[in-house]
Amino acid sequence: MRLRTHTFFATVVCGALLAAFAAAAVFIWQAIAAVPGTPETVWGDYLASPLPAIVVFLACWSAANIGFAIAACAEAFHRTRSGLVATILVAMFIVGLGITAGFAFLPSRPTSLALLVTVIAFPLSLLAMTGALVWAISRVARWEAPRPASALWPESRAQHLGSNRPGAPGTSYPGGPPFDVLEPDETVLTYFKSERTPEPQLLIATNQRFVRASILGTDRTFILEQAGPGQLAGARSERVGRDLMTTAHFHDHPVMRVVGGDPRQSRAFAVAVTRLTRSGQLRR
């Protein structure tokens, strides 16, 4: 999920649609069920009153809001603290088990009590999701502020950089991957390319950042993720089963990995990156 200012509205609509489908599915299930249920319970009154459907709708919407809130927290940290992200995802799993258990007991609960609980839970979940999204959007925006060009698609980058784009007349770099992602005054120190996937993958070390990118069908480079040069800790080339893995390691950032490629080039790239981190050529 890419966090942008329109995310809140899209997330609200998504949660409402999920809840509406769930309420409709329960209605169909009740209509063909052999056991009608006990009167004055959510299951027993589902066809006789609109209140049980409202209970299911609000309960499912609240559950979706909680999931989106936790996911927003994970998105906010995944660029810098992978360990914390793993903890958040484990917490999300545990919360999901608790919500599932709650839904298991919901059909036998009195309709009035279940309605009261969901009416209270829904606005609280909506507030929690709103707060988490606003905070996560703000955090991601601060992280990406020094790197605005990375968010642009290749076509937009060409318009944005104009004559300063590598490959344009008067520049020292030829056009095409990986040089078409360079900013003014940025140079490629070393890079590795793998054509294992339909869209070839690149690991690029420049004097200003470290990038994992793919080459689109238009022969343009699209940045998938990047890290500051000061975060780079080294690189490794190794065999995992039958696959060749070229991996860059970072401080406070998830690893970047490319599968496949030439083994000799992979080893040379790993050695070069490790030497760069020790030599101080990367700006910190």
Greatest CA separation for the chain: 81
Q: Are strands 188-194 and 201-206 parallel, antiparallel or unpaired?
A: antiparallel
Torsion sign, CA atoms 89, 91, 93, 99: negative
Same domain, 102 and 190: no
Measured CA distances, 240 to 214, 245, 258, 259, 261 (Å)? 22, 7, 12, 10, 13
**Residue 142, pLDDT score:** 61
pTM: 0.49
Structural domain range at position 222: 166-279
Report yes or no on 151 lying in a domain.
Answer: no
Q: In this predicted model, what pLDDT tens digit does every residue of 139-168 receive, in sequence order?
A: 766 655 444 433 333 333 433 333 334 443
How many CA atoms lie within 13 Å of 258's alpha carbon, on the beta-carbon side?
Answer: 34
Please give the tally of structural domains in the chain.
2
Measured CA distances, 2 to 5, 34, 63, 222 (Å)? 10, 45, 21, 16
Same domain, 83 and 119: yes
Report yes or no on 31 lying in a domain.
Answer: yes
Given a cut of 50, whether residue 224 has pLDDT beyond it is yes
Distance CA 143, CA 80 (A): 9
Query: Could you tell me what percent of the chain has a pLDDT over 70?
Result: 81
Q: Are 22 and 58 in contact (CB under 8 A)?
A: no
Q: Measure CA 267 to chain center.
A: 30
Same domain, 92 and 196: no
Same domain, 98 and 193: no
Measured CA distances, 235 to 238, 241, 281 (Å)? 10, 19, 15
Same domain, 116 and 198: no
The 3-state DSSP class for residue 112 equals helix
Same domain, 133 and 180: no
Report yes or no on 157 lying in a domain.
Answer: no
Given a cut of 60, whether residue 80 has pLDDT beyond it is yes
Torsion sign, CA atoms 92, 95, 99, 101: positive
Local structure of residue 201 (DSSP, 8 states):
E
Given a cut of 60, whether residue 274 has pLDDT beyond it is yes
Report yes or no on 160 lying in a domain.
Answer: no
Same domain, 53 and 102: yes
Band of the pLDDT at 206, cuts 50, 70, 90?
Answer: confident
Report yes or no on 209 lying in a domain.
Answer: yes
Distance CA 107, CA 221 (A): 53
Report yes or no on 156 lying in a domain.
Answer: no
Band of the pLDDT at 196, cuts 50, 70, 90?
Answer: confident
Report yes or no on 205 lying in a domain.
Answer: yes
Q: Which domain-ending residue is among 144, 177, 211?
A: 144
Q: In this predicted model, what pLDDT tens digit does every residue of 104-141 receive, in sequence order?
A: 888 888 888 988 999 999 999 999 998 888 888 777 66
Band of the pLDDT at 54, cuts 50, 70, 90?
Answer: very high
Measured CA distances, 193 to 5, 47, 74, 122, 229 (Å)? 35, 61, 30, 49, 19
Residue 181 is part of a domain; what is its CATH number?
Answer: 2.30.29
Report yes or no on 245 lying in a domain.
Answer: yes
Q: Which residues of 86-100 are buried (b: 16+ CB within 10 A; e: fewer)?
A: eebeeebeeeeeebe
